[in-house]
Amino acid sequence: MTATEQIVPFVEAITRYEPVIGLEVHVELGTASKMFCGCSTAFGAAPNTQVCPVCLGLPGSLPVVNASAVESTIRIGLALNCEIASWCRFARKNYFYPDMPKDFQVSQYDEPLCTNGYLDVTVESEDGPVQVRVEIERVHMEEDTGKLTHAGGATGRIHGADYSLVDYNRAGIPLIEIVTKPVVGTGALAPEVARAYVTELRDLMRALGVSDVRMEEGSLRCDANLSLNRPGDSWGTRSETKNVNSLRSVERAVRSEIERQAAVLDAGGRVVQETRHFHEDTGRSTSGRSKEHAEDYRYFPEPDLVPIAPSAQWIEQLRGTLPELPSVRRARLREEWSLTDHEMQTLLNAGAVELVANTIAAGVSPAAARKWWTGELLRVANDQGVELADLAITPADLARIEALIAEGALNDKLARQVIEGVLAGQGDVDAVVAARGLAVVSDDGPLLAAIDAALAEQPDVAEKIKGGKVQAAGAIVGSVMKATKGQADAGRVRALLMERLGVTE
């Protein structure tokens, strides 16, 4: 760990420097078997139970390409508007590390399967939505490494550990890497663009059904490259931030790196080309491995695997299997839900599109579904610094709450208390309603008693209403709602009040 580094506040940094971002995303494919052998890819098995001579790199074993992984990669490439190579090869990337049994990783180097694509993303600026085209340099196939566990130390890191354990179950699981070209001209929107890109990519992978894309479990991993330059200058030196384990962190990592590099440059310093490690807790990164001297991986074509030569016919057949893409689906849902572009964009930025869609599918009206997720629930998520989808409430819970409102058993205020209880882990909707005694008083008896008490306390108001000033009724209704701790139906109270005073509205 280095001493606390200087920063320049983001809004100030962005007035002097232009950011360039580059994103490298790794996606673990959801194939049943590994990239070059038949071993299972199931998560969570006992260590080293899903291994064979091929993925352990034993001499004499021969790999065979998993056709389903190639198929997934081509579909990803097509969905990202890439050119698909008619002929390409795997390469060996040679380096030694104990999580890699073969001492080389089979990857693609100068002959990736997919190149030159793009993905459009939209972010919200002060002047409305801005569309940014993120160009894709390449999509290539490789294999994952094993997993090391460092035991005996306090931090779980290799430094200070007594010994390390290695599990090769993950070694050889198909990985694809999607690398963007440098993204320029985004200015102050750079952090949001980075987040929007990874979000859109995740949704695209999910729509294609090629991966479960869980950032927290590592099936989608993002490295964020960033450099700064003064306007008019050529691009600066980039750093590469790793350990970015949530969508929120993608945005935070880019923002904090802009603040850090601006301070280095302001002080007349030089940005070092290095990998950095992002820390969730502090929202800052620390220096990792220097990349000043390019490592020599001695790449060469993998001699044990045949080249991949997808026919034009196969590629066209795969194009026919592409699902409705997320951006197209959003446009359709926007129409169905009668939203403006801006309203849909707000849902997207909040990570609420799927949640709203599922809530509507559970029987809630589009307006109510949107109201809950982007109102009350978004506020709670922001307060807690978590994603909406991580809140302990489901579309089914909201559907139950809406059903109770429709029955007249809950009103809006009580519904908020139910939500609070569900979020606090006090049980499902019905359990919280029962435990907290949250139900609208539907019996007229107690309501009439409360009305009479309020009228007795405010005789002047009663006179006003009788004299035709019906807007004065609000004061009495308010007193009754207070007396019943919000558990009355305000409309019913008003009707009973008018009846009591013999006033017709």
Least distance (Å) from ligand ADP to the CB of residue 273? 9
Please write down the HEC assignment for all residues of 445-456.
HHHHHHHHHHHH
- Which C-beta is closer to ligand ADP: that of 49 or that of 300? 300
Q: Which does 181 bind (CB under 5 to 8 A by kind): Zn ion, ligand ADP, Mg ion, none?
A: ligand ADP
171 contributes a contact to Zn ion by CB under 5 A: no
* Residues between 5 and 24 that touch Mg ion (CB under 5 A): 24
* Residues between 3 and 22 that touch ligand ADP (CB under 6 A): 20-22
Q: Which residue is nearest to ligand ADP (CB)?
A: 22
Question: What is the contact mask toward ligand ADP in residues 140 to 159, using x (rule: CB under 6 A)?
Answer: --------------------
Q: Write out the two tokens for 175.
A: 């990985």
* Residues between 207 and 226 that touch ligand ADP (CB under 6 A): 225-226
Least distance (Å) from Mg ion to the CB of residue 3? 29
Q: Which residue is nearest to Mg ion (CB)?
A: 24
Contact yes or no for 176/143 (Cβ under 8 A): no
Least distance (Å) from Mg ion to the CB of residue 225? 9
C-alpha distances in Å from residue 74, one per residue of 8, 28, 90, 321, 332: 43, 15, 15, 11, 26
179 contributes a contact to ligand ADP by CB under 6 A: yes
Least distance (Å) from ligand ADP to the CB of residue 288? 13
Q: Say how far apart CA 419 and CA 376 lie, in whole Å.
A: 9
Q: Say how far apart CA 58 and CA 52 lie, in whole Å.
A: 9
195 contributes a contact to ligand ADP by CB under 6 A: no
Contact yes or no for 139/102 (Cβ under 8 A): no
Contact yes or no for 19/258 (Cβ under 8 A): yes
105 contributes a contact to ligand ADP by CB under 6 A: no
Least distance (Å) from Mg ion to the CB of residue 56? 25
> Hey, what's the torsion of the CAs at 232, 235, 237, 239, to 10 degrees?
120
Question: Which member of 203, 240, 259, 402 binds ligand ADP (CB under 6 A)?
Answer: 240
- Which C-beta is closer to ligand ADP: that of 24 or that of 387? 24
Q: Which does 225 bind (CB under 5 to 8 A by kind): Zn ion, Mg ion, ligand ADP, none?
A: ligand ADP
Least distance (Å) from Mg ion to the CB of residue 173? 18
Contact yes or no for 20/229 (Cβ under 8 A): yes
Least distance (Å) from Mg ion to the CB of residue 26? 9
Q: Say how far apart CA 165 and CA 219 lie, in whole Å.
A: 21
Contact yes or no for 496/448 (Cβ under 8 A): yes
* Residues between 23 and 62 that touch Mg ion (CB under 5 A): 24
How many binding residues for ligand ADP (CB under 6 A)? Answer: 15
Q: Say how far apart CA 31 and CA 66 lie, in whole Å.
A: 9
277 contributes a contact to ligand ADP by CB under 6 A: no
Least distance (Å) from ligand ADP to the CB of residue 240? 6
Which residues fall within 8 angstroms of residue 497, CB to CB, at 6 or more apart? Answer: 451, 455, 465, 473, 476, 477, 480
- Which C-beta is closer to ligand ADP: that of 20 or that of 441? 20
Residue 405 φ/ψ, nearest 5 degrees: -65, -45
Which residues fall within 8 angstroms of residue 284, CB to CB, at 6 or more apart? Answer: 5, 256, 260, 278
* Residues between 25 and 84 that touch Zn ion (CB under 5 A): 37, 39, 52, 54-55
Q: Which does 284 bind (CB under 5 to 8 A by kind): ligand ADP, Mg ion, Zn ion, none?
A: none
Directed axis angle between helix 395-407 and helix 412-423, to 10°? Answer: 150
Least distance (Å) from Zn ion to the CB of residue 34? 5
Q: How many other C-beta atoms can be found within 10 angstroms of the C-beta atom of residue 75?
A: 22
Contact yes or no for 125/132 (Cβ under 8 A): no
Least distance (Å) from ligand ADP to the CB of residue 24? 5
Q: Is 342 helix (H, G, I), strand (E, B) or coil?
A: helix
Residues that bind Mg ion (CB under 5 A): 24
Residues that bind ligand ADP (CB under 6 A): 20-24, 179-182, 225-227, 235, 238, 240
Residues that bind Zn ion (CB under 5 A): 37, 39, 52, 54-55
